[in-house]
Structure 1
Amino acid sequence: MALASLSDADFKTLLSENFTPSATIKTPERLFGRAKALTTIERAFASAGRQVFIYGDRGVGKTSLAETAAHLHQDSRSTPIYVPCANSGSFAEVMTAVGNATISITKRVERRGATGTYGATVFGTGLTIKPAEADLHHTLPDAQTLTGALDIIRYVLEKRPGPQIIIIDEMERIGAAAEREKFAEFIKNIPQLEERVKFIFCGIGTTVDELIGAHPSAGRILETISLEKLHHNYLWEIIRHVANQANVEIPTEMLVRIGQISDGFPHYVHLIGESMFWSAYDDKEEVTKLLSEHFRAGITGALERAEGVLRQQYQKATRKTKNTTDYEEALWAVADTTSDSRQLSEIYEASYKRIMMRRQRVERLMLTKELFNQRLLALKKEGHGSILKGYGSGWFGFRENIIRGYVRLMAEQAGVELGRDIR
C-alpha cells in the first residue's frame, strides 16, 4: 500500500464516497458548484404552485442536482419518487410508474392463487388444497387522462405523509409531440394538488420548449434552471477533497490539465480521479505527491471505463478503411477550445496547424485547408455518426458537448494537449 495514512478499507471507502462516475450524487456536500441552483430550487418550492425544470447538456449533472434537492426537501419517512422516461415513452407510462412507486414491489410482482400444503387428513397424509388468502388488487386511475393522472398524485399523497418530491427524468426521450403536450397540460394543473407535492423535471435540451413545447400556461408554473458546465475550480475541488483526505499533494498543473480535459463535465473528473488514485495506491513506493505516471494512468483508466456510448461515437466517427488518423486529428482540432461553434479558418489556423506540428514526430503530414474541410464535412454525415454539426456555412461544432471531453482524453493519450484556453 503506497498511501500510508489509509487502510485498505478506508481507501476504498474514500474513493467510493467521492468518485462516482456511474452513480448520481444525492448529498449537497458532494455536489460541488451547485449551491446557487440548490438555493433556486429551495425558493421555488417555497412559492405556491411553483415546480422546477432542469435542462442542459447530457452529462452536466442534472440528475445529481435533482436528486440532491429532492432528498433535502423530501419527508424523512420516505424517499423521493424517481421515474426515468423510456425511449419513445408515454405520459401514461410515467404517471403509472409514479403511482406504482407507492406500492410494494412484492405486491406488484407476486400473484397468489390456490396454494397446496401437505398435512394429515382423516384419510391419511396427503395434499390439502387451501384457497389463497384474499389478495388486495391495486388498480390505479386511468393515466391516459389528465383527471386520472392528477388522481394518481392524490393517491400518492394519501399513501405518503409530509412533503413529497417527484422527479421525472430524461424528458427528451418523450418523442411524440402529443405526449409532450400531455405533460405540459399536466404541469399547468399541478397547482390543483396539495402544496406539499413538488415536481422536478429534467431533460437534455437548450430550452424547455424543446422538451414540452411552447405552452405559456405551463411556463408560468415552472422555475427553469439552465444547468451549465461546472467551472474548473469546482472540478478541482472534487480531486482536492480526496487528495486532502489521503494526505497526498497534487500539483496545480495536474489539476489544471484535468479541468481542461474534462471540459466542465464532472463525469470525466470522477473517471480520471478514481483511476489516478488507484494508480498511486498500487505504487511500490510510498506516495506523498501525485506524479506524471499517476496522471497518465488516470487518462488510460478514464478511456477504458468511459461511457460506452462515447467510445462508440468516437469509433464510428474515426475508424474507417482509410483516413482514420485524418478524422481523429480533425476532431482533436475542433475540440481544442470550449467554443460550441468554430469557424473553419480558425480551427485550421489556430488548432489544426499546432496539433500537426506536434505530430511531426510520428511523421504525420498536414492536410491542406481544402482537404481538412472535406474531413470536417464528412464528420457531419451519418456514416460518421454525425458527431459534428454545422452552424451555417463554414462553422462546425459537436452535436453533443460531452463528447468533447472524450476527444480530449484520446488526444491526451496520444501526447496532444487540448483545451489550453481554459484557465
Structure 2
Amino acid sequence: MINPEIGFTSDVIKNPDRFVGRTDLIRNCIRALNAPLGLIGIYGKRGVGKSSLARQIQQIAVGNLVTIKNSGLDHEAPKSMRKYITVYYQCDSMISNVEDLIRRLLNDQNEEDGLLRLVPNDGKEIVEFQRSDEINGGVDLKVLSWGAKGVDTSKYAKVVENDNIQTFRNFLSAIVTHQVKKKMKREGLLIIIDEFDVVKDKVGMGSLIKSLSSDEVKFAVCGIGDDLFELVEDHGSVERLLEEGTLHVTPMPVNESEEIIKKPRGFLKET
C-alpha cells in the first residue's frame, strides 16, 4: 500500500528525491552557495515551502546534488561546487533577542545539525598548538607548562564567561580551522537559521552576520516576510552581502504542483 502522507505532506521535505519544482530558486541557490562571500536570505508567506527549500540548500551545500539533477540544472552547476559543513537551527517564539539565539546555537546538541557537534570536545579540547619563543603574559593562550624559552602553549576554542558573542566567535574560528580546513577539507561553514521571524528583537543580527561572514563562513536566514529587509531589521549591514542570495519563495505554480502527483518514485522509496 502507498502511504499518502509520503509526498503529500505539510511537513518539511528533507529528502531531495521528494522535492519538486522551484527551478529558478534552485538556480539562485547554486549561485549563492558558490559565491565566496554572501548571505542567503529566504523569505515569503507562511506555508509556501521556505523550510523545505532551506533543507535542499543544506543538501546541496554538503555535496548532495540530487536536487540540482532533478531540476535539470546539471549544466549550470560548476564542475567543482563549493562544499560546506552545515549547521541548521530552527528558532522558536521563546527566543527574545539575538543574544538568546546565540546562546541556543552554542548549546544545541543535535547530532545532525547542531553547532556544538562540530566544536572539538564541546569547546574544551586543545585544538591548536603553538611554540612560543618567549614567555609573554599578554598572549591569550593556555600554557601547559611554564618555563623560559620554547614553552609549549595551546589555544582552546574556549567559552568566555558572560560573553556569548565572543564564545560564538571562538567556536566558529575553531570549527573553520580544525573541521572545515583540516579534517573535512571543505570550503566553508554554512549556518542556516530557520524561522528567524519568530525572534522578538532582531536588532544586531545584521551587523553580527556582516562581521562574521567571510569566504569560510556563510549564513542563511529563513523566515516569514514580505521582503528580506523585513526579516533582518538592521538590514543596512548586510545589503552588500545579498547580491547573490535573495530567495523569495512564492506559492508554487500549478505546473510545478502537478509534479508532486506525477512523481511516484518518492513514494516507493519510503514505503
- Report if TM-score (shorter chain) is over 0.5: yes
Structure with greater proportional helix content: 1
Give the Å deviation of 1:150.
Answer: 2.8
Q: CA RMSD in A?
A: 3.4
SS at match of 2:93: coil
In the alignment, which residue of structure 1 is the partner of 2:19?
31
In the alignment, which residue of structure 2 is the partner of 1:167?
192
Q: Give the counterpart of 1:80 among 71, 81, 86.
A: 86
- Relative distance call for 1:78 and 1:185 in structure 2 (3 A) is closer
Which aligned pairs between 1:39-188 and structure 2 lie closer than 5 A?
A: 39-74=27-62, 80-89=86-95, 90-100=97-107, 101-103=114-116, 140-141=159-160, 146-158=165-177, 160-161=179-180, 162=186, 163-176=188-201, 180-188=202-210
- Relative distance call for 1:36 and 1:95 in structure 2 (3 A) is same
Give the Å deviation of 1:63.
Answer: 0.7
Check whether the contact 1:75–1:164 (CA below 8 A) recurs between aligned residues: no
Percent of aligned pairs with the same amino acid: 25
In structure 1, how many angstroms separate the alpha carbons of the residues matched to 2:240 and 2:24? 21
Check whether the contact 1:83–1:94 (CA below 8 A) recurs between aligned residues: no
SS at match of 1:153: helix
Which aligned pairs between 1:12-411 and structure 2 lie closer than 5 A?
A: 12=3, 15=4, 17-22=6-11, 24-74=12-62, 80-89=86-95, 90-100=97-107, 101-103=114-116, 140-141=159-160, 146-158=165-177, 160-161=179-180, 162=186, 163-176=188-201, 180-191=202-213, 193=214, 195-222=215-242, 223-242=245-264
Check whether the contact 2:21–2:256 (CA below 8 A) recurs between aligned residues: yes
* CA deviation profile, 1:274-306 (whole Å, cap 9, x unmatched): xxxxxxxxxxxxxxxxxxxxxxxxxxxxxxxxx
Unaligned runs of 5+ in 2: 65-82, 108-113, 123-156, 181-185
In structure 1, how many angstroms separate the alpha carbons of the residues matched to 2:230 and 2:266? 42
In structure 2, how many angstroms separate the alpha carbons of the residues matched to 1:19 and 1:166? 29
In structure 1, how many angstroms separate the alpha carbons of the residues matched to 2:220 and 2:208? 13
* CA deviation profile, 1:42-96 (whole Å, cap 9, x unmatched): 2122222112000000111111101111111126899732112221512223223
SS at match of 2:192: strand
Give the Å deviation of 1:39.
Answer: 1.6
Aligned residues: 201
SS at match of 1:156: helix
* CA deviation profile, 1:319-372 (whole Å, cap 9, x unmatched): xxxxxxxxxxxxxxxxxxxxxxxxxxxxxxxxxxxxxxxxxxxxxxxxxxxxxx
Higher-RCO chain (CA-CA 8 Å, sequence separation at least 6): 2
Unaligned runs of 5+ in 1: 1-7, 109-137, 247-423
In structure 2, how many angstroms separate the alpha carbons of the residues matched to 1:39 and 1:166? 20
Give the Å deviation of 1:170.
Answer: 0.9
